[in-house]
Amino acid sequence: MADLASWGFEEGAPIADGREVLKTLGGGNRFEVALVWDEHLFSLAVAKILRPDQASDEKALRELRREWEILERIAHPVIVRGFDAVLDGEPPHVLIEHLEGPSLRRLLRRGGPLPLQQLLPLALHVAGALQYLANEGVVHLDVKPDNVVMGVPPRHDAEHGAEQHGDQRHRHRHPDGQRPDGHHPGHRRVEHGHQRHGDRHPHRRVAALTNTVGRGEGRARRPALCLPT
């Protein structure tokens, strides 16, 4: 398999004014993902960046723009938030929320099936997110355990929002500051899949929910939907 094109970002590389790469996190065929520090947010965030061989492709840019338009519009407690987008500059990217916690898949691999008392809250959170997206005319096409992040702390927790972000910025600049769970911190809540408008097939939401929740069967953790790469 041919190597995927990469921008080759190094620590400290700028990708926009006041936004620098701390570490690369992987990615997919069209995108690479990086943990970044954003001065305007004064916070860690995650950049989903079109690969250099896609940066001038009209279809890829159109899809990135459409993804950002959806991110700008939606607002739900268990769906990852979008903060900014660079669509006409280089490198083209969207800036999304930085999240803590393992994916549902990683959690299941470590601890086995979740007990029933954990499955019910998980199902309610994911179902609520899917129904909200349907109400907004958006279909999530990639609901799976990899795209559900568990253990998200409260959004307005002062320790998490102020003290922890400052500590994390420092920690991610050092080799010994790697995340212990190995999960890249770009995903919180339910990640947005390859989305489209209109929901003519509500049974697909039920199938996605059943497939995701059915793999988990514990500790009380709050889930979160994210953007796959």
pLDDT < 50 positions in the chain: 1, 153-188, 194, 196-199, 217-220, 227, 229
Rounded to whole angstroms, the Cα distance separating 226 from 229 reads 10
Predicted confidence (pLDDT) per residue in 78-87, tens digit: 999 999 999 9
Q: Domains in the chain and their CATH numbers? A: 14-97 (3.30.200.20), 104-226 (no CATH)
Task: Supply the pTM of this predicted model.
Answer: 0.68
With CA atoms as reference, report the closest residue to 224 among 193, 199, 192, 189. Answer: 189
d(CA 70, CA 66): 6
Q: What is the pLDDT of residue 212?
A: 55
Give CA–CA dist 87/101, Å, rounded: 29
Q: Residue 111 — φ and ψ, nearest 5°? A: -115, 0
pLDDT, one tens digit per residue, over 160-191 is: 333 334 444 444 433 333 333 334 333 335 55
